[in-house]
């Protein structure tokens, strides 16, 4: 279906009132000083590649922010591997995106999975819906499916790159562009200062591949059982673990206790 300015509108299927605009058209709007933010992001990525040659990885969630970073890494010709977690509970759209990234950029994408036996034991002991019963059980599931494989992904690596943005949630307002974890590993968050509009502006401008769930009102995408679409006006991460109070909504991949390096700009 033809939409605005050459974009196709999205038909959400039976039951939907009307086709909706793709996320790039809904959100894409560069904020003031976008070019400076972009230049700063490129600078940080170049620093990561130079200071941690061969030992830095982009830990991609395959969300739209990480797609922007993968695009920039490729465009700059930086020697930074792209890796992702397949928790065993991802949407088909997310799994399919891995193949699109590989084809679009001609790169390998490392896929790290949880230990099969550990998942079997967790599900056998607690059932497939344990995450809904309590926060400790939800965090235990995240520990098995995410934290353990992330630890292996980062093992032997001195730095990693994420797509965290300060604007995403109250828990992320203090995200630094460059942080050092308790283990001494450096975490680069080159999009810390970007707005959602900046992200989608970049995507539209550069034809970046992205998860089609974003067009269906999933601004933040995690595992299928723990992600829902958001309503107009809801927080960008309202669809993640929506049954929990706002303050509990992190999976442990980005723990507090880190400290920022250099001035927060």
Q: Does 222 bind ligand SF4 (CB under 6 A)?
A: yes
Q: Which of 10, 65, 76 is nearest to 198 (CA)?
A: 65
Q: Which of 154, 191, 180, 157 is nearest to 53 (CA)?
A: 157
Binding marks (x or -) toward ligand SF4, 134..153, rule CB under 6 A?
----x--xx--xx-------
Binding marks (x or -) toward ligand SF4, 170..189, rule CB under 6 A?
--------------------
Helices (H), 56-182: 64-75, 92-105, 116-126, 135-142, 148-154
When binding is defined by CB under 6 A, the residue of 23, 24, 89, 153 that contacts ligand SF4 is 89
- Please tell me the distance from the alpha carbon of residue 40 to that of residue 47, in angstroms, as a whole number: 10
Q: Minimum distance between the CB of residue 133 and ligand SF4, rounded to whole angstroms?
A: 11
* Token reading at 118: 């550990």
Per CB under 6 A, contacts with ligand SF4 among 228-257 are 251
Q: Does 119 bind ligand SF4 (CB under 6 A)?
A: no
Does the active-site annotation cover 223? no
Neighbours of 34 (CB within 10 A): 16
Q: Minimum distance between the CB of residue 23 and ligand SF4, rounded to whole angstroms?
A: 22
Q: Which is nearer to ligand SF4, 24 or 89 (CB)?
A: 89
For ligand SF4, how many residues bind (rule: CB under 6 A)?
13
Q: Does 168 bind ligand SF4 (CB under 6 A)?
A: no
Helices (H), the chain: 23-27, 34-51, 64-75, 92-105, 116-126, 135-142, 148-154, 196-206
Q: Does 82 bind ligand SF4 (CB under 6 A)?
A: no
- Please tell me the distance from the alpha carbon of residue 184 to that of residue 170, in angstroms, as a whole number: 25
Binding site for ligand SF4 (CB under 6 A): 87, 89, 131, 138, 141-142, 145-146, 222-223, 225-226, 251
Q: Catalytic amino acids?
A: 251
């Amino acid at each position: 279906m033809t939409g605005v300015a050459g974009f196709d509108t999205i038909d959400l299927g039976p039951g939907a009132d009307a086709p909706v605009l793709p996320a790039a058209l809904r959100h894409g709007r560069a904020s003031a000083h976008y070019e400076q933010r972009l230049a700063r992001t490129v600078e940080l990525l170049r620093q990561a590649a130079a200071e941690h040659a061969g030992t830095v990885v982009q830990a991609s969630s395959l969300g739209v922010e990480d797609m922007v970073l993968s695009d920039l890494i490729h465009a700059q010709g930086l020697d930074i591997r792209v890796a992702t977690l397949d928790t065993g509970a991802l949407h088909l759209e997310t799994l399919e995106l891995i193949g699109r990234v590989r084809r679009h950029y001609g790169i390998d994408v490392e896929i790290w999975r949880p230990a099969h036996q550990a998942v079997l034991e967790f599900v056998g002991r607690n059932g497939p819906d344990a995450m809904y019963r309590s926060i400790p059980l939800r965090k235990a599931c995240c520990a098995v499916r995410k934290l353990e494989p992330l630890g292996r992904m980062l093992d032997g690596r001195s730095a990693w790159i994420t797509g965290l943005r300060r604007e995403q949630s109250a828990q992320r307002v203090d995200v630094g562009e460059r942080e050092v974890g308790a283990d001494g590993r450096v975490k680069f968050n080159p999009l810390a200062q970007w707005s959602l509009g900046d992200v989608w502006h970049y995507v539209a401008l550069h034809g970046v591949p992205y998860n089609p769930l974003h067009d269906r009102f999933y601004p933040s995408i995690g595992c299928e059982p723990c992600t829902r679409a958001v309503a107009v006006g809801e927080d960008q991460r309202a669809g993640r673990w929506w049954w929990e109070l706002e303050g509990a909504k992190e999976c442990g991949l980005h723990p507090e206790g880190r400290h920022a390096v250099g001035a927060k700009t």
